[in-house]
Chains A and B, each alone.
Chain A
């Protein structure tokens, strides 16, 4: 099974900050990597698919990069509605999620 490791597990940031979240796969997964945002009590929302493709309707301040084993989600200018938990998910083999990164207000 492919293990997905996210870092950090949590971070504090201010409105307008640039935020970067990392995700590492235990083996190469090409670009089969997705990012989700989840707010408390809500279902996750797809942000980025295939490592770098912005899902329809998602603000352009979100971007994804990476290939192979190392991936990054970047929020270019943090907005109030972006405080949430973010998960990566690999779809190269049996799907699996990272442990999540909680983005909190500083």
Chain B
């Protein structure tokens, strides 16, 4: 079955960058949308952006434009989310999630275990 395994927790200083990885197994990789969703402590879910590897280009929520980069490595079936200019309000659990349907950003069927990113001086 499809599994998404994310990299481990990170502690970062304000102004620095973090790169979270998400390795997929058990299903097709290139033709599905991979999404990044974050959840600040005690708060709700926030879609940040996503990529369909076969198409190459990523899509981002406007609030993260200029700070976020989502890339995919088809050779290792791994998706990456790079967030720069970290602030304390970027402290959150970051999830990757694969879509249910091919080639669309529609519904998030498979989820990684989440990666806690803590931004603190």
Contacts and interface: CB of A to CB of B under 8 A. Distances in A.
Bound pair: A and B?
yes
Interface of A: 1, 32, 34, 36, 38, 43-46, 49-50, 55, 87, 89, 91, 94-100
Contacts, number: 59
Interface residues of B, number: 23
B1 to A, nearest CB: 11
Contacts of B47: 89, 94-97
Contact of A34 (B50, B61, B108): B108
B92 to A, nearest CB: 13
B89 to A, nearest CB: 17
Contact of A87 (B45, B95, B104, B107): B45
Given A1-B62, A91-B106, A94-B61, A43 B100 contact: no
Interface in B62-115: 62, 95, 97, 100, 104-109, 111-114
Nearest to B60: A94
B107 A44 contact: no
Given A44-B45, A87-B45, A89-B47, 4 more contacts: A49-B107, A89-B107, A95-B105, A97-B46
